[in-house]
Amino acid sequence: MENIAKGEDKYLTSIRNIGIIAHIDAGKTTLTERILYYTKKIHRMGEVHEGTATMDYLPEEQERGITITSACTTCFWKNKQINIIDTPGHVDFTIEVERALRVLDGAIGVFCAVGGVEPQSETVWKQSEKYRVPKLAFVNKMDRIGANFENVLEEMKKKLGANPVPVVIPWGKEDQLKGVIDLIEMKFIWFDPETEGERFEKRDLIEGQKQEAEKWRERLIESISEIDETILEKYLAEEEIDTLELKKAIREGTIGLKIVPVFAGSALKNIGVQPVLDAICDYLPSPLEVKQIEGIDPDSNKKKIFPISSKAPFSALVFKISMETGRQLSLFRVYSGKIQVGDSIYISTQGKEERIARLFRLHADRKERINEAKTGEIVGAAGLKLVRTGDTLCKKENKIILEKISDYKSVISIALEPKNTQEGEKLIEVLQKFLKEDPTLFMEIDEDTGQIILSGMGELHLEVVQQRLKREYNLDFRAGNPQVVYRETISKSATASSEFYKELAEKMHYGFVELKVEPIDRHQDNKIIFEIDTESFPEKFVLAIETAIKDGLLSGVLKGSPVQGVRVSILSLGELRQDSSEIGYHMAASIALKEALTKANPILLEPIMFVEIYVPEEFVGDVISLIGMKGGKIENMFERGQAKTIQALAPLRKLFGFSTHLRSVTQGRANFIMKFEKFDVLD
C-alpha cells in the first residue's frame, strides 16, 4: 500500500476488476445490462430473451439467449472504474469462466431464487475458490413463483461451503416483491418502475419492515462478530455499532475470503441492482488489495515477483484471444508496469518478440482506442499475431512467466468433410485460428480418410463452432455424427522386453529394453520410472526411451486412444554395444511397451457425464425410465421447491439427443444440466 501514499498509483484504489459468474439462466447478463444502464454506459437496456443484450453480441448468443463467450466492458460508479467480464453459464464453455477468473480480483455469484445453487453454479464457484477470488452473491428472480431467499442461503452453506452473510434482504417475494431492505443503514429501498428502476429512494422502515430487518441485522452482526474482534467486543457490550465500522469489517471479511455478502432482488424487474453496485465499490478489492501474483524467471527458474505499480517492470497475462472479425485481438490483464502503443513486448512463454500496433478498452464488441495500458487494467491489443491464450507478456530485459491457465480435456469429436481440396485448405486455416482463440478445441487430420477431426467440450460447443465457420467464413462442409473421445488403461501388471536390431539408412541400430506396466488410479497421469542405474548409459539413450514411452502412451492398443492411469517401470536396458543407438533404444522401448500393454488386460474408458434433471413430480417415473434406457445410474434424488431433482451418471455415447427425449417424456417441463465427470467404466 506504500504506492498510494506516494500518489503514483493512487488510481489503482479506484479500480475494480470483477466477473459475473453463475449457472445458465440465473440472470448474469440481465444483471450486467442493468449495471451498464445505471452507470450510463448504455442508454437503453437490452433483454436476453429478445436477443438485444449488449454483452451477448454474437448471433449464436442472441439466437439461443445464452452467453457463449466472455465479454468485457468498463463502467464507472461513485468514482470507481469497474471492469466487468460477463462469463458463460453453460458447462460446454466453462473454460471461458476459468480464463476470466484467472485475471479477476472479485466476482458476483448470481443465484436463481427458485433454482438455488445449481450444478454449474457449483463448478464456477469452485473455480473462483481455486484462484482465491473474493465474492458477493446476488439472489436474483425474487419475483418468481417459488422464490425462497433462505433456501438459497442454506444451499450456499451446504453445497459451496460458503459463509453467506445477508447485507440486503428482499421485502416481499414472488408478485409481492416491493423492494429491498438495507441492513447496514436500516432503510427500505424503493425502485421507481416508471424510470426502469433508475430512480430509487431510501425510506424509513415501517412497523412490519422494522421487525423483519432487526431480526436479520442481529444475524448480520453475529456473523461479523465471529470474524472481527472490535465488532465482537461492541456486540457483547451491547454498544452501538456505527455504519463505517460495520462496512470496514464486512470489507475485510470479504477480501479475506471469510464471508460472502449477500444481496437480493430481481434484475429483470429492476429491483436491487444499485446496492450491488455500491457493494462492488465498498467490499470488493482493488488490484492493490489482492495477493501479489507470483511468477518464475525463465532463465534461472527461480520465483520472481514484480510490485503492483506502474513504475515496476511490465508483466501481463493473456487470458483470451478473439478472432470475431478475422483479425486477432489479444485480451490481457496488466499486473505490473505499463505498456504503450508501438512498444515491443516479449512473449516469455514462447521466447519471441512482437510489437503492439493498437490498444483498446473494450465494451462487448465495440472498442475504444487508448494509447497506454497501466497496472490493474484489462485491455485488448491488436498486432500480436504470435500470442496464444495463457501467454505471459513482459519486457525482454526483465523476463517473467506467470502461472498458466488450466488445461481441459475434450470429450466429443466430429468429422468435417469439405467439398473439395481448396475448401479443405481454407477450413484448416480457419480452424487453426479458432484453436488459438479456444484452448478446448483440438483438431487432427485423419491421414487415411483425409477427414478433419474436431474435438471439443460438448455438443453445443461443436455446434457453435460449425455455425461460426459457415456464418463468418462462408465455408461449406459436411459434418459427421458426433463421436465420443475414449481413453484406455490396464487392469493388471505385465512385463515385456524387446531386442531391436535392424539396418536403417545403411547403418545397424541396436537396443534392448525390458519394462513393466502397472495400473494406478485411473484418473491419474501416467508415471515413468527408471528402476535401474542409468549413469552408465548416454543421456540421449535414456531420453530416447522416455520419449518412446510417452509417445506410445498417446495411442493405446485397443482403439488407439490415449492411455492413462499407468506406471511404466524400466527394469533393464541390456548391455551397451558398439552398434547401440538412440533409434535402437527408442524402437525397443516402443515395441516392449505395446506388448506389455496388450498383456495387461487393457480396458476402454469412456466419458461418464454427470446429469442433473429438474422435473415436476408427475414425470419422475418417466425420467427414471429414460435414464435407465440411456445406460445411466441414479446417484441421488431430492426435492427442490415444487419439483424433484434427479442426479445420475451416464455414458456420453448414449446421451446424444437426450434433451429431445427429455422434452418428449416431460411435455417440455423438465430442465437439465450435463457436465463431464470422468473417463471410466460405468459399473
pLDDT of residue 536: 83
pLDDT of residue 603: 94
Interatomic CA distance for residues 609 and 615, integer angstroms:
19
Sequence-distant (≥ 6) Cβ neighbours of residue 572 within 8 angstroms: 497, 512, 513, 514, 532
Question: Which one-letter amino acid corresponds to residue 2?
Answer: E
Cβ contact 615:644 at 8 Å: yes
Residue 24 forms beta bridges with which residues?
A: none
Residue 392 forms beta bridges with which residues?
A: 317
Tell me if residue 333 falls in helix, strand or coil.
strand
pLDDT of residue 44: 61
CB atoms within 10 A of CB 536: 9
DSSP string for 358-423: EEEEEETTEEEEESEEETT-EEEEES-SS--TT-EEEBTTB--EEPPPPP----EEEEEEESSHHH
Closest to 101 (Cα-Cα) out of 397, 341, 319: 319
pLDDT of residue 63: 44
pLDDT of residue 96: 60
CA-based diameter of the chain, in Å?
99
Closest to 133 (Cα-Cα) out of 170, 93, 85: 85
pLDDT of residue 3: 41
pLDDT of residue 92: 45
Closest to 337 (Cα-Cα) out of 85, 74, 9: 9
Supply φ then ψ for residue 200, to 5 degrees. -140, 160
| pLDDT-flagged residues of the chain (< 70) | 1-9, 24, 43-71, 86-99, 119-120, 324-326, 364-365, 404-411, 446-450, 458, 460, 482, 640-642, 682-683
Interatomic CA distance for residues 315 and 266, integer angstroms:
40
Interatomic CA distance for residues 463 and 405, integer angstroms:
25
pLDDT of residue 660: 76
Interatomic CA distance for residues 160 and 157, integer angstroms:
6
Q: What is the pLDDT of residues 223-277, one digit of tens each?
A: 999 998 988 988 888 888 888 999 999 999 999 999 999 999 999 999 999 999 9
pLDDT of residue 446: 67
Q: What is the pLDDT of residues 77-133, one digit of tens each?
A: 998 999 887 665 444 445 666 667 778 899 999 999 988 887 667 777 877 887 789
DSSP string for 42-105: -SS---GGGT--SS--SHHHHHHTS--S-EEEEEEETTEEEEEEEPP-SGGGHHHHHHHHHT-S
Residue 330 forms beta bridges with which residues?
A: 321, 381
pLDDT of residue 424: 83
CA dihedral defined by 421, 427, 433, 439, rounded to 10 degrees?
A: -110
Helix (H) or strand (E) holding 463: helix 459-473
